[in-house]
């Protein structure tokens, strides 16, 4: 039996140099421009989306929702160290984060029975609405441990997993032939397997691009790669074997381990 990941909540931490002023009515209006009908009972910081109905075991349909926390001082900077170490895509991440003193968190609820595509679409559209209004200095996607410049997220185009997928790179200490490990992080929160590859003589940039392509294939088609099957490597003749295993690098999750030989 193949190992599986359980879907998790999606959340993003928005970092600010000064505390933002929240207007639930203004946020609801911005959300409606992106998503149509939005319910905001009691003018609080919980927003419901009737266009995204999650169905549960008793056949009861519940609208997906998103919760915002009140702005608070940014704590646990040490916990962001892994993200900073993997911020190849944003060289200014560390200097930008140093200016941030406050944060708020955006989290989805009642979304786990939605399709992966619906969950990601809803979460992305919520941030598309909120980021221009709140104007944070940085975004941090918790499930992918990825820091992003807000303008890069808003300019992602068709890259639905821009924030929710990270490709990480590690040099393996004390290994033969200067081995490296590269993995994806973020698919597990959608209940899908991430990918992992250990290698020595491949181009890391090409490997990163290929892992990203695999991640989008799984996201769009579901976990259709079976244990022991092969997929194309970096060249048409290269066949990489796929095995479901526990991840080599935290967080603990199920990955598809790729074997090049």
DSSP string, 176-223: GGG-EEEEEESGGGGT--EEEEEESSS-HHHHHHHHHHHHHHHHHH-S
pLDDT band at 148 (very low <50, low <70, confident <90, very high): very high
pLDDT at residue 236 in the model: 87
Residue pair 28/38 in contact by the 8 Å Cβ criterion: yes
What six digits make up the tokens of 30?
Answer: 């911005």
Bond into 203 cis (ω within 30) = no
Q: Which residues contact 207 (CB under 8 A, 6 or more apart)?
A: 182, 197, 199, 234
Q: What's the DSSP call for residue 235? A: S
Q: Per-residue pLDDT averaged across 55-70, rounded?
A: 88
Q: Per-residue pLDDT averaged across 182-210, rounded?
A: 95
Shared-domain flag, residues 110 and 177: no
Q: Which residues contact 82 (CB under 8 A, 6 or more apart)?
A: 145
Shared-domain flag, residues 49 and 170: no
The range of the structural domain enclosing residue 188 comes to 166-259
Q: Which residues contact 152 (CB under 8 A, 6 or more apart)?
A: 89, 90, 162
Domain boundary among 129, 154, 179: 154
pLDDT at residue 177 in the model: 65
pLDDT at residue 226 in the model: 92
Q: Per-residue pLDDT averaged across 154-177, rounded?
A: 89
pLDDT band at 2 (very low <50, low <70, confident <90, very high): low
Indicate whether 5 belongs to any domain.
no
pLDDT band at 42 (very low <50, low <70, confident <90, very high): confident
Total domains in the chain come to 2
Q: Per-residue pLDDT averaged across 47-64, rounded?
A: 89
Shared-domain flag, residues 20 and 147: yes
């Amino acid at each position: 039996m193949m190992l599986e990941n359980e879907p998790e909540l999606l959340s993003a931490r928005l970092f600010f140099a000064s505390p933002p002023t929240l207007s639930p009515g203004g946020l609801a209006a911005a959300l409606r421009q992106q998503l149509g009908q939005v319910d905001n009972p009691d003018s609080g910081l919980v927003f419901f989306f009737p266009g995204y109905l999650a169905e549960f075991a008793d056949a009861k349909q519940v609208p997906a929702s998103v919760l915002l926390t009140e702005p608070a001082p940014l704590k646990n900077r040490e916990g962001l160290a892994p993200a900073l170490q993997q911020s190849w895509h944003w060289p200014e991440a560390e200097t930008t984060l140093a200016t941030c003193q406050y944060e708020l968190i955006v989290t989805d609820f009642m979304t786990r029975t939605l399709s992966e595509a619906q969950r990601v679409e809803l979460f992305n559209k919520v941030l598309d609405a909120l980021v221009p209004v709140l104007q944070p200095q940085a975004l941090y996607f918790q499930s992918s441990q990825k820091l992003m410049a807000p303008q890069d997220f808003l300019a992602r185009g068709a890259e639905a997993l821009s924030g929710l997928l990270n490709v990480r790179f590690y040099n393996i200490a004390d290994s033969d032939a200067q081995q490296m490990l590269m993995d994806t992080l973020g698919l597990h929160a959608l209940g899908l397997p991430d990918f992992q590859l250990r290698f020595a003589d491949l181009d890391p940039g090409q490997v990163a691009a290929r892992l990203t392509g695999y991640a989008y294939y799984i996201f769009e088609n579901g976990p259709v790669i079976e244990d022991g099957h092969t997929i194309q490597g970096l060249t048409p003749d290269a066949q990489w074997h796929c095995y479901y295993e526990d991840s080599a690098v935290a967080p603990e999750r199920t990955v598809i381990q790729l074997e090049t030989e």
